[in-house]
Structure 1
């Protein structure tokens, strides 16, 4: 027999407080005096009370849920078959484990995956801290925007990665709910934007490389042409080259897909065709691939060629040599997106916000020539 489900009124009566106080304890506990908070939480535990999201949403005209939408970078058809077995299934001996002889290390996670993992961690942390639930949606292939549209009907606001949703779709969604765009500059829209100082960081790093190479023209390893971050980093590189009085037309520009495998391929090509004084990569993953290729060919870094990256992923601090990079605050980017969304929900008529987080130029062995 199902017992009576306790309500917020039952909790308030048991704790001797108003239902508004119960709501504050559950949503923003730090805003309530410790003694009162403990009394309310004790009543919640004793009664087994579970807040009703739908009831709260009707009262506040909010769901208490924020959305985070990412494009899908892994192909669904590449996923291996997966079967779930229960303890009752009769399986042959050995079904519960396998032994694999691995001749070579597996490919590292893609650059986009590493970036999004950190952004997601920050967004989830800030959403939890502010009393929101975070809904994460991943779109794959042409129907990807349908995921964003479905999410828009279930959340109070939606955070999207720049260029992951077509502009016309984004415009329609922003007419319904607040939108925060991550990692992309404003392009005539009225959404809130959160990005990092890509151009400023790359310009500072380029000046350092020119100092280390005596002003000799470096090669530049660019990413995909549709990357907003990549475009900003290229702008910073151009600025520093012009400031140094060098001709941009003399800069060899290579292009990859932000993956470590692309960096290895380009590193192999440079070994065969001739090394530049420096190779500046627009992300860490490609720079690490270049280091792999150079190490296999006996190329000395930084003595023979300076190598730098951008992003500040953990692997860059453990490479041989350790990779000079620009560290962007990926976790803080996710936190800032949720903070901006929370402000927008509290002040829906405020002017659009553009937040730009600072970066750090991290000098390591791959670029610092000593003696």
Structure 2
């Protein structure tokens, strides 16, 4: 990991705990402490912590309040070891799957069916983002190289807090994709294990961070669309409101538009949720409005991520809208699907697998020396010019 130090900015303003403070820290709260604080039995606390068995809402709220007050994190069996090391690292990802999938009926019928595939249907179920798959791949490989195992938790309601607390109690450290956990829960688990945030801007809470410069990537991309292709009528397609990466990318779009003398939008023209399915719905409405005379196509769609751009390509191609002749489409991330689609997608490539890999490296440094200053590691990105924005 020291080989990446040339890209690492250490921040001395975040004070490190002296060794004496670490040794003098109070012992972690136990399940019995929580039970005493909440005025319930240990078995009731166990049911709340493990989301196993019925507990009245009022009782559960008392237990959760006691957990927060005491900073309790469930302990795995290996935490009794003198070295206090499990050899297990954690990765926490957001829930990107469709609601209700876990309640599907047990499959019935023949083991194999012949079905004519008419192409992707807008709104179809998706098991999540290739972006997070790439982060997982990089993190797992780095953990394997260091002879660690990697445990993964998806922050999926309704028991995401219990699941994350349980994971934090079983691992030596935790890698968290920015925006996955609330600030309160993030601070809660960081009291017990080192936490490294992936993506998003530099966090205010003093956590170690690995990310890319989202605004600069979009700025370079817009400058290319204007300078090389003469495109000036562009629409930004955003993701979920309040997402930090999305906010930074839209700011970069606005900054580039202002610098190039283009109209500066106050809000994104369209908004999805980062998934290909949501983008297909948006693109379908765009094409319908265009053909119905209610709106015209812009010269380019600048999409907040690759999966959104791929969803637009799916529908535009199926509806006979030529890319890039009728409209250009660009993305952000550089996932594998961006280079295998047709036309190939122009995108800002952030080395997504490297984000996971470097995050595990930073986490291991934290474990080796908890007194190290916090790191804010910015991984370089690059604009990959392909056919979806024009002929080269």
- Give the TM interval when normalised to the shorter protein: 0.7 to 0.9
Equivalent residue, structure 1, for 2:167: 151
**Is 1:98 aligned to residue 112 of structure 2?**
yes
Quote the offset at 1:353 in angstroms: 0.9
Quote the offset at 1:120 in angstroms: 0.9
- Inter-CA distance 232–110: structure 2 relative to 1 (3 Å threshold): farther
Equivalent residue, structure 1, for 2:200: 184
Where in structure 1 are there 5+ consecutive unaligned residues?
Answer: 1-52, 84-91
User: How many Å separate the matches in 2 of 1:235 and 1:328?
Assistant: 18
**Is 1:245 aligned to residue 261 of structure 2?**
yes
Indicate which of 304, 310, 325 corresponds to 1:303: 325
Which structure would you say has the larger RCO, counting Cα contacts within 8 Å and 6 or more residues apart?
Answer: 2
**Is 1:117 aligned to residue 133 of structure 2?**
yes
- Inter-CA distance 230–152: structure 2 relative to 1 (3 Å threshold): same
**Is 1:200 aligned to residue 222 of structure 2?**
no
Where in structure 2 are there 5+ consecutive unaligned residues?
Answer: 1-75
Please say if residues 334 and 347 of structure 2, whose CA atoms lie closer than 8 Å, have aligned partners that are also in contact. Answer: yes
Please say if residues 345 and 386 of structure 2, whose CA atoms lie closer than 8 Å, have aligned partners that are also in contact. Answer: yes
RMSD: 2.6
User: How many Å separate the matches in 2 of 1:278 and 1:215?
Assistant: 7
- Inter-CA distance 260–369: structure 2 relative to 1 (3 Å threshold): same
Quote the offset at 1:75 in angstroms: 4.4
SS in 1 for 2:312: helix
Quote the offset at 1:171 in angstroms: 1.0
- Cα displacement string for residues 311-348 of structure 1 (whole angstroms, at most 9, x for unaligned residues): 11222212222111111211111111100000111120
User: How many Å separate the matches in 2 of 1:151 and 1:225?
Assistant: 28
SS in 1 for 2:100: helix
User: How many Å separate the matches in 2 of 1:56 and 1:170?
Assistant: 20
Q: Could you state the TM-score of these two structures normalised by the residue count of structure 2?
A: 0.72
User: How many Å separate the matches in 1 of 2:383 and 2:125?
Assistant: 23
Range with bigger deviation, 287-296 or 62-71: 287-296
- Inter-CA distance 269–54: structure 2 relative to 1 (3 Å threshold): closer
User: How many Å separate the matches in 2 of 1:105 and 1:298?
Assistant: 14
Equivalenced residues, count: 308
Indicate which of 308, 319, 327 corresponds to 2:341: 319
Equivalent residue, structure 2, for 1:218: 234
- After TM superposition, the structure 1 = structure 2 runs for residues 1-371 of structure 1, keeping only pairs within 5 Å, are 58-75=81-98, 77-79=100-102, 80-82=104-106, 97-105=111-119, 110=126, 112-214=128-230, 216-249=232-265, 253-271=269-287, 272=290, 273-369=295-391
User: How many Å separate the matches in 2 of 1:188 and 1:139?
Assistant: 22
Please say if residues 78 and 170 of structure 2, whose CA atoms lie closer than 8 Å, have aligned partners that are also in contact. Answer: no
Please say if residues 78 and 85 of structure 2, whose CA atoms lie closer than 8 Å, have aligned partners that are also in contact. Answer: no
SS in 1 for 2:210: strand
Give 1 or 2 for the bigger CA radius of gyration. Answer: 1
Please say if residues 203 and 209 of structure 2, whose CA atoms lie closer than 8 Å, have aligned partners that are also in contact. Answer: no
Please say if residues 324 and 366 of structure 1, whose CA atoms lie closer than 8 Å, have aligned partners that are also in contact. Answer: yes
Please say if residues 260 and 288 of structure 1, whose CA atoms lie closer than 8 Å, have aligned partners that are also in contact. Answer: yes
User: How many Å separate the matches in 2 of 1:154 and 1:71?
Assistant: 19
Structure 1 segments of 4+ aligned residues over 6 angstroms from their partners:
53-57
Q: Could you state the TM-score of these two structures normalised by the residue count of structure 1?
A: 0.76
User: How many Å separate the matches in 2 of 1:124 and 1:226?
Assistant: 28
